[in-house]
Amino acid sequence: MKEFLVNVLPTNNTADTYIGPVFVAARGTPTAVQYVNNLPDTTATKVGVWKYSADQTLHWADPANLGMMMGMCSVPPVAGDPPQCFKYAGPIPVVPHLHGGEVPAAIDGGPDAWFLNQKTGYSTHGKGYYTYNYDPEADAQNNFSIYRYPNSQEAGPLWFPITFWAAPVSTFMPAWQGPTCSPTRA
C-alpha cells in the first residue's frame, strides 16, 4: 500500500482503470495475499483525513499506546488536555478486510489487527495482528501481513478496503462455476 494519484474517471484514456488490484480466485483453492504498508506518516501524507484529523478519542489503532479517552476531552481540545485529545501525528496504521468473504475471524480485519510502516516510538502491530504462518521472532517488526483466504463462498464480486479511514478499494472476484438452476413451477 502506498499513496498514488489516480484519475477515477479518465479523460482521454480508453483503457479500463481500477482503483486497486483485482484478484480472480478459484473456489476451494486458498489465495494468499501479502499486504505491505508503505504509507508515509501523517506529516508527509497527502490524504487529508490523516493530515488534518484523526480522532484518537475513539476506539482505533492507537499505535502510540496512549489509551482511549472517549468523553474525557474538551471540544475543541485545549492546552492541558491529554495527548489523545489532539489530532494523531505518526505512522499510518492499516488493516485489510474482505467484504463478503467467508473468512476466519482472525483475518476479518478487526480494529486491533493493524500494522505500521514506520515503527520508531510506536507499537509495530495491534494486539489482533495476524499474518499467515506467524513466527513471533521473525515477524515481530513486519510492515506487512499475509492473509490466506479459503475461497469457500459462492462466486461473486467481493471488495477489500485497506482500512485507514480513507480506503483504497480493490476487488476480489471468486470466479467459479455455480450450480445451474432451472425455474420450477408450483
Number of other CB atoms surrounding residue 78 within 10 Å: 10
pLDDT of residue 137: 85
Q: Is residue 83 part of a domain?
A: yes
Q: For residue 146, what is its C-alpha cell?
A: 499475509
Q: Is residue 177 part of a domain?
A: no
- Give phi and psi for 85, each to the nearest 5: -80, -10
pLDDT of residue 186: 39
What per-residue string of b and e applies to 5-19 under the rule 16 or more CB within 10 Å gives b?
A: eeeeeeeeeeeeeee
Whole-model pTM: value is 0.74
Q: Is residue 140 part of a domain?
A: yes
pLDDT of residue 132: 92
Q: Is residue 172 part of a domain?
A: no
Q: Is residue 30 part of a domain?
A: yes
pLDDT of residue 84: 82
What does each C-alpha distance from 90 to 13, 35, 65 come to in angstroms? 37, 20, 12
DSSP-assigned letters across all residues of 42-80: TTT---HHHHH---TTSSS--TT-----TT-S-SS--TT
Mean pLDDT by 10 residues, the chain (186 residues): 60 53 82 88 79 71 78 83 84 85 85 84 89 86 89 80 46 46 42
What does each C-alpha distance from 186 to 72, 179, 180, 183 come to in angstroms? 62, 21, 19, 10
Q: Is residue 5 part of a domain?
A: yes
Q: How many folded domains does the chain comprise?
A: 1
- What is the domain-level CATH number for residue 84? 2.60.40
Q: Which residue has the cell 500494522?
A: 115
Residue 16 lies in domain = 1-163
Q: Is residue 86 part of a domain?
A: yes
Q: Is residue 181 part of a domain?
A: no
DSSP letter, residue 117: S
CB 132 within 8 A of CB 32: yes
- Distance, CA of 18 to CA of 24 (rounded, Å): 14
